[in-house]
Structure 1
Amino acid sequence: MDRYQFVNDRYAKEDDVLQSIAPGLQDREMPQISVPPGIGKTLYMLVKMCGAHHALEVGGLGGYSSIWLARALPAEGELLTLELEPDYAAFAEENLKKAGLSDKASVYIGDARKSLEVLDSQRKQFDFFFIDADKENYPFYLEKAIKMSTPGAVIAMDNMFFGDAIFDKDDNNPSVQGILRAHDILTQDERLDATLLAVGDGLAVARVK
């Protein structure tokens, strides 16, 4: 047993719905890129600890992280997940329904950049954000999250090590460059207090001042 399995077994136990998502992704030939259980539980704890009521998730896939987020919200809380692929969104909605969360979680289909522009134009605000989508657009997503934040809102971003590719100075992959620019914003923008948790593939956590 390694440290990750220890965390999953002791601190991030999955119920039947969560356990069914990975096989469901495989059956549908969808990518196996859901957050690991330890990250899911970390997101759950962050939502609980900051007392969030309105959460926005960028990138939903099969709804694994959506379930962790929605379960942490109070009964009157709301989670909005932005997902590009209709098939992924349908599977996420199916899993949210199985988890009994359809009343406080919804999935909006479309390009997240355009969806965020619409939400911003409607002056929507959220007190928790989870960003786990196309990495080249991380700086855009982060800026929109800051703009749509209530004071004290928390922003979490996954895959901030990107399999340690960010440490290769010669890697010009757009995803790597997008993540590095996001790191610059997180560490230099005076609107934020931020840190990087060395869990999973790196989870950045920031508080909007």
Structure 2
Amino acid sequence: MLEEGWRRVDDYIAEALISKEEAQETTLVANAREKLPPIDVSPPQGKLLQLLACAIGAKRILEIGTLGGYSTIWLARAVGEGGKVVTFEVDPRHAAVARDNIAREGLSARVDLRVGAALDMLPQLESEQGPRFDFAFIDADKPNNAAYFAYALKLSRPGALIIVDNVVREGAVADPAITDSGALGARALFEAVAAEGRVEATAVQTVGAKGWDGFLIARVR
């Protein structure tokens, strides 16, 4: 019953505050048709990412975990003309779906989609010595979250925001009896961030269409 209520409130928020065009219903339908896992951020969460990126004037965004491009599109809208989202996706089929979705939204020029394991490709991105990122969103395989965070920090400018999704995991992060890879990855992330003097951070629990979870939000000092 609780989850039904959470979903109902998410639907209410989306209907009240997010237009049909913003909500990307066509993207979600395309992802479902191609049988991608339904693990995109929710529309209210996508709008939150866009608003946070807009609030700091982000023009260059790093995303780890493209999936079908749903969150990528929210972020590409935030950077505006001349901005760029560099996004990594390990699965070529997911990447192909994402390219189609991004193109349909008219945002291909704003997105640099790289296919392969992010930890293998991030060193290449670093070697390019491009402008530092203003914003990073990490939503990929959870055991590597601490490693992804370390790269995002290395590639971000002072004042940048780094956001990591799925860090609460229905409370598993705070339950030492749960030792699955997702929970262990979440704890490793918290430990790494707590020990990192170059950032200040918090985490926010969320409930909604995606269940009970949350974001870690860090600001580079």
> What's the TM-score once normalised by structure 1's chain length?
0.93
| Alignment RMSD | 1.6
Aligned mate of 1:66, from 72, 81, 86: 72
Identity of aligned residues (%): 34
Counterpart pick for 1:144 among 147, 151, 160: 151
Runs of at least 4 residues off by over 6 Å: none
2:139 touches 2:164 (CA, 8 Å); kept in 1?
A: yes
State the secondary structure of the residue aligned to 1:152.
strand
Q: CA deviation at 1:16?
A: 7.5
Equivalent residue for 2:13?
7
> 2-side partners of 1:17 and 1:130: how far apart?
19
User: What runs of 5+ residues in structure 2 fail to find an aligned partner?
Assistant: 208-212
Q: Which moved more, 1:8-17 or 1:84-93?
A: 8-17
Displacement after TM superposition at 1:17 (Å): 7.4
Using the alignment, how far apart are the partners of 1:95 and 1:66 within structure 2? 10
Deviations 1:103-147 (A, max 9, x none): 111210000101112112223421110000000000000001111
Q: Map 1:87-102 onto structure 2 (within 5 A).
A: 87-102=93-108
The aligned counterpart of 1:131 is: 138
Instruction: Indicate the SS of the match to 1:171.
Output: coil
Contact persistence 2:68–2:97 (CA under 8 A): yes
Question: In structure 2, how many angstroms separate the alpha carbons of the residues matched to 1:32 and 1:44?
Answer: 20
The residue that corresponds to 2:210 in the other structure is none
- The aligned amino acid for 1:169 is P
Match of 2:31 among 25, 29, 35: 25
The gaps in structure 1 that reach 5 residues or longer are none
SS at 1:145 equivalent: helix
**Contact persistence 2:23–2:43 (CA under 8 A):** no
Q: Shift of residue 183 of structure 1?
A: 1.4
- The answer for the alignment partner of 2:181 in structure 1 is 174
The alpha-carbon deviation at position 168 of structure 1 amounts to 2.5
Aligned residue pair count:
209
